[in-house]
Amino acid sequence: MSAAYRVLFVSTFAFVTCFAVWMAFGVIGIPIRHELNLNATEFGFLTATPVLSGAALRLPLGIWTDRFGGRSVMTILLVVAAIPVWLVSYATQLWQFLAIGLCLGAVGASFAVGTPYVARFFPANRRGFAMGFFGAGTSGAALNMFVAPIIVDRWGWRAVPHIYAIALLVTAAIFWLLSAPDPGLGGKQKPPGFAQQMKVLRDPRVWKYCQYYSLTFGGFTALSLWMPQYFSGEYGLGIAMASALAASFSLPAGALRAVGGVLSDRVGAHALTWWVLWLAWIALFLLSYPQTQMVVQTIRGPASFHIGLNLWTFTPLLFVLGVALAFGMASTFKYLGDDFSDSLGVVTGIVGLAGGLGGFLLPILWGGLLDLLGIRSSAFMLLYGIVWVSLILIYFTEVRQMDIRGRKANPQS
């Protein structure tokens, strides 16, 4: 096996572990919620707090990756993050969970380390595949939904942090042994300074890609945290069954990201993103409809009708949404690989920060909407509006501009 593919496989393995740990509160948060008697908004804060620190640390870790190399930064991150993960089992109050959650959330920043690290081992025409394959590590969310309920059923939720902390240390050892030094690291060229790296913020394309990623990755992360309790509350399922069905969303959204990377290489980031947004728009339109009881006055008297998605209709639609978000995450990073190959670490950090912030804010907003309206599908209503923003943005910045350039090139057409 070549060094490039060995690095790709072991980096993806590390990211799978990190993402499973990052999403832990999506499952263990359910018994914690009952134990602490939390409302929906408080539960949103509980699950989203690790996402906040994971988002905030993506930018500095992306910068450090450009300076010191992905191999060193990833190994240190895995070892250090094991400490707060272990301490979760000793928390007894909400503020303690929030404080420790901020620390353990650092594992979520591993994406900003691994993406530029693996991209450096591949030529430009294969970077979409490489970054998409690495991004498939988000399937760790599905791994958490399978593993954590088993641990909770056998030993209680407090055993989950202990097992996950040990997994991080084992992963750190495997990663260090099988990974390779970053290409070009340690050369005579001086690493760029902070001010020079931050110049990319002046490029409007960076902000556009931030918006795309706040929907695709932010939506994926937030739904991975939110769906177990959604299935439990909406359809009355136990933790194990609710988590297993929630994996129907997180597993394809993770595993198919590599396929999205390949498609991005073949058809281009723009074409894939455009159609992905429309697919998400359709799925979210259907998922947004709340359970509704209607009474119609007929000539024979009142007739009652129920409109709403049952469990076996809702789950396939959630799967479709997962596929759309997976391809959208991959196409966004194809944009970055094409447009910012020389500053991929810092741009990955910035765009990853935006995606992580989306994943942090959405569960809190969903909890507030649920407490206010009492409608669980309001989570999908909010995402539906965000998709509209993305469609308008891509139309005016890309689709319309391509039409204008086409008319200028062919004035007689």
Q: Could you report the per-residue pLDDT of 268-322, keeping only the tens digit for each?
A: 888 888 899 999 999 999 999 898 888 999 988 899 988 888 998 999 999 999 8
Average pLDDT, the chain: 86
- Phi, psi at 203, each rounded to 5°: -85, 120
Higher pLDDT residue, 356 or 187? 356
Measured distance CA(293)–CA(60) in Å, rounded: 51
Measured distance CA(14)–CA(37) in Å, rounded: 34
Query: Looking at residue 395, what DSSP letter applies?
Result: I
CATH topology of domain 3-180+197-409: Growth Hormone; Chain: A; (1.20.1250)
Is a pLDDT exceeding 80 seen at residue 262?
no
Measured distance CA(337)–CA(265) in Å, rounded: 10
Residue 375 CB: number of other CB atoms within 10 A? 14
Q: Are 287 and 314 in contact (CB under 8 A)?
A: yes
Residue 192 CB: number of other CB atoms within 10 A? 17
Measured distance CA(322)–CA(220) in Å, rounded: 7
| Domain range summary for the chain, segments of one domain joined by + | 3-180+197-409
The SS3 of residue 160 is: helix
Burial per residue of 47-72, b for 16 or more beta-carbon CB atoms within 10 angstroms, e otherwise: bbbbbbbbbbbbbebbbbbbbebbbb
Is a pLDDT exceeding 50 seen at residue 65?
yes
**Please, what is the Cα angle at 108 between 102 and 111, to 5 degrees?**
150
Q: 396 falls in which pLDDT band (50, 70, 90)?
A: confident
Q: Could you report the per-residue pLDDT of 380-391, keeping only the tens digit for each?
A: 999 999 999 889
Q: 126 falls in which pLDDT band (50, 70, 90)?
A: confident
The SS3 of residue 59 is: helix
Measured distance CA(210)–CA(314) in Å, rounded: 29
Of 18, 44, 110, the C-alpha closest to 360 is: 44
Q: Could you report the per-residue pLDDT of 41-56, keeping only the tens digit for each?
A: 999 899 889 988 888 8
Is a pLDDT exceeding 90 seen at residue 74?
yes
Residue type, 389: V
